[in-house]
């Protein structure tokens, strides 16, 4: 049976994951957060004391690790070598590691099959950076979700409970945007067919409605 695939790409902090999770709940699809896979690889490198710049060290580690998802009543859990790391991957150190490992072609290749397999088996809303451009070029709906740097930094600030100051977060976001969009392999860019959704200044409710309505319109629901 042909599965419905919705691809959502965009920069970090644009609200992709919370909006995509919400839309998946409304539409009865499975939400797949591909950033979590890169974060799990980043965490594995960090734990082994491998530097972010040590490309060969990171590639060498791939043979020794397994990364994937397991479903649970609370939703998707991220599993690294059998361990649930869903919470451990959510901090700024792992964010920077994830961004670094995601620029390595062998790491992207390593995670590609996992992503495509999930999309072939279920109706999914998958979010990431290269879902429309590389992972699911035939997705039924392609969306590029973005917001201003200031809005995105504020969102991260509120999420972190004030753990990191706003100025530092703004700088980290700019740095990560640059890293993610200037890398040679699978850079963050809008697929030419992707619908652009800019959530700058929106309330959560407005953004949710915008995303759900856009998807419904496209799939004719």
| Rounded CA separation 131/186 (Å) | 9
Q: End-to-end CA distance of the chain, in Å?
A: 18
**How many of the other CB atoms lie within 10 Å of CB of 75?**
14
Examine residue 123 and tell whether it contacts ligand DC (CB under 6 A). Answer: no
Specify the stretch interacting with ligand DC by CB under 6 A; choose among 30-38, 61-69, 138-146, 210-218: 30-38
Examine residue 10 and tell whether it contacts ligand DC (CB under 6 A). Answer: no
Element (H, E) at 112: helix 105-121
Report how many residues bind ligand DC under the rule CB under 6 A: 14
Nearer to ligand DC, 92 or 198 (CB): 92
Length of the chain as a residue count = 221
Joined together, the tokens standing for residue 84 give 């649930």
Examine residue 180 and tell whether it contacts ligand DC (CB under 6 A). Answer: yes
Examine residue 46 and tell whether it contacts ligand DC (CB under 6 A). Answer: no
Nearer to ligand DC, 137 or 213 (CB): 137
Specify the stretch interacting with ligand DC by CB under 6 A; choose among 19-27, 122-130, 191-199, 206-214: 122-130
Residue 13: helix, strand or coil by DSSP? coil
From 6, 19, 9, 4, select the one nearest 203 (Cα to Cα). 19
Nearer to ligand DC, 35 or 123 (CB): 35
| Rounded CA separation 50/108 (Å) | 18
Residue from 19, 98, 118, 143 touching ligand DC (CB under 6 A): that is: 98
Examine residue 176 and tell whether it contacts ligand DC (CB under 6 A). Answer: yes
| Rounded CA separation 106/204 (Å) | 37
Binding string, 126-165, against ligand DC, x = CB under 6 A?
--xxxx----------------------------------
How many helices and strands in the chain, by DSSP H and E? 8, 8
Q: Which residues bind ligand DC (CB under 6 A)?
A: 12, 34-35, 38-39, 98-99, 102, 128-131, 176, 180
């Amino acid at each position: 049976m042909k599965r419905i695939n919705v691809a959502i790409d965009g920069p970090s902090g644009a609200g992709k994951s919370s909006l995509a999770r919400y839309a998946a709940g409304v539409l009865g699809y499975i939400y797949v957060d591909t950033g979590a896979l890169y974060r799990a690889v980043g965490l594995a490198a960090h734990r082994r004391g491998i530097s972010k710049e040590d490309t060969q060290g990171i590639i060498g580690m791939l043979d020794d690790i397994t990364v994937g998802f397991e479903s649970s009543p609370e939703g998707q859990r991220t599993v690294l070598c059998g361990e649930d790391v869903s919470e451990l991957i959510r901090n700024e150190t792992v964010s920077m590691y994830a961004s670094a490992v995601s620029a390595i072609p062998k790491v992207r290749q390593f995670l590609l099959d996992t992503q495509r397999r999930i999309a072939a088996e279920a109706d999914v809303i998958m979010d990431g950076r290269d879902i429309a451009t590389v992972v699911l070029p035939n997705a039924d709906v392609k969306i590029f979700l973005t917001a201003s740097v200031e809005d995105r930094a504020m969102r991260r600030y509120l999420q972190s409970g004030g753990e990191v100051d706003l100025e530092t977060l703004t700088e980290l976001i700019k740095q990560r945007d640059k890293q993610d969009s200037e890398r040679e392999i699978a850079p963050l860019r809008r697929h030419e067919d992707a619908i652009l959704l800019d959530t700058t200044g929106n309330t959560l409710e407005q953004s949710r409605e915008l995303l759900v309505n856009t998807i419904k319109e496209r799939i004719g629901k």
